[in-house]
Amino acid sequence: MKFFKSKFFIVTVIVAVLVAVTFTVMSSLGYSSYIKSGLNVLLTPFRYIADKTGQALEGYAAYITEFDRLKAENEELKSRIEKMQSEVQEAEAIRKENDQFRKYLELKTEHLDYTFENADVIGRESGNYMTVFTLSKGKNYGIEAGMPVISGNGGLIGGITDAGGTWASACSITDTSSSVGAYVERSLAAGIVSGDYTLGRSGLCKMSYLSDSADIKPGDRILTSGIGSVYPRGLVIGTVTEVVTDENSRSKYAIIRPLAEQSGFSSVMVLTSYEKYVEN
């Protein structure tokens, strides 16, 4: 083979033979101790390197073992954290649901004539603030057009506009087609709450048809008046944020922030039965 015929192989063999012959001759002449001493001197660096290499390999092996252990521990901790986050989210959802039912219970306790039907929101009109939404229940559950829809905090969201057997459409009080008789809780000043295109984009609505002397100011709560029997009397619509006076027409209107957030909720309660308000 070419390797055995190469100069490197030949030189290596010659050197090995010379070293062996030299070692044999010097040993026969009694110089073996010098040879051993010389070999020890020559081999010491290699022994040192071999020892350090062994230590390095042992350290590397220990590092790999520790790395694998830490990786497994990290995966376990990550799994625990994800599980805890899921449990926290579930607990938060349960808390919100309990708060919602507590509000409904308070409303039911205050108004014994109220009958509710819960429903999920399964569709929304696109936009910053939805004004029309679809519910998961309809006529099969006693839900009909004209019934009020309230949120988990007891605030008026809007009213049912149409219903099928298993679905219903509802319109928000911020929609321009919405109109609700209302009054100021503090002063009993009356007016009409309706949607406004510009205000609706900010989730607001307005209370119009206020007399020039109407006692209304920011912070006042606005409730449904019950006039016309479309909505029962006393449902919370929202809070006045600003009162605007029109000097030309000598009239004023109030900007209302609804108690029920007009986006983000996933379930509602439909008020299916209540006593009609009769004005004295």
Per-residue pLDDT of the chain (280 residues; tens, 9 = 90+): 554 455 655 656 565 555 555 656 555 655 555 555 655 555 566 556 666 666 666 666 677 777 777 788 888 888 888 888 877 777 766 666 666 666 666 676 777 788 889 899 998 875 555 588 899 999 999 999 999 999 877 889 999 999 999 999 999 999 888 899 999 999 999 999 999 988 988 889 999 999 888 999 999 999 999 887 678 999 999 999 999 987 776 778 999 999 987 666 788 899 998 887 777 6
106: which 2 tokens? Answer: 């308070």
**Single pTM value for the model:** 0.63
Spans of all domains in the chain: 2-60, 115-273
Burial 51-88 (b: 16+ CB within 10 A, else e): eeeeeeeeeeeeeeeeeeeeeeeeeeeeeeeeeeeeee
* Among candidate residues 159, 154, 235, the one with its CA nearest the CA of residue 195: 159
The CATH code of the domain at 115-273 is 2.40.10.350
On whether the CB atoms of residues 265 and 129 are closer than 8 A, the answer is no
Q: Can you tell me the distance from the alpha carbon of 200 to that of 220, in angstroms, rounded to the nearest whole number?
A: 20
Q: What is the pLDDT of residue 236?
A: 93
Q: What is the pLDDT of residue 76?
A: 83
Q: Return the H-helix or E-strand segment holding 87.
A: helix 32-110
238: which 2 tokens? Answer: 């929202």
Q: Can you tell me the distance from the alpha carbon of 5 to that of 246, in angstroms, rounded to the nearest whole number?
A: 112
Tokens 């073992």 appear where? 65
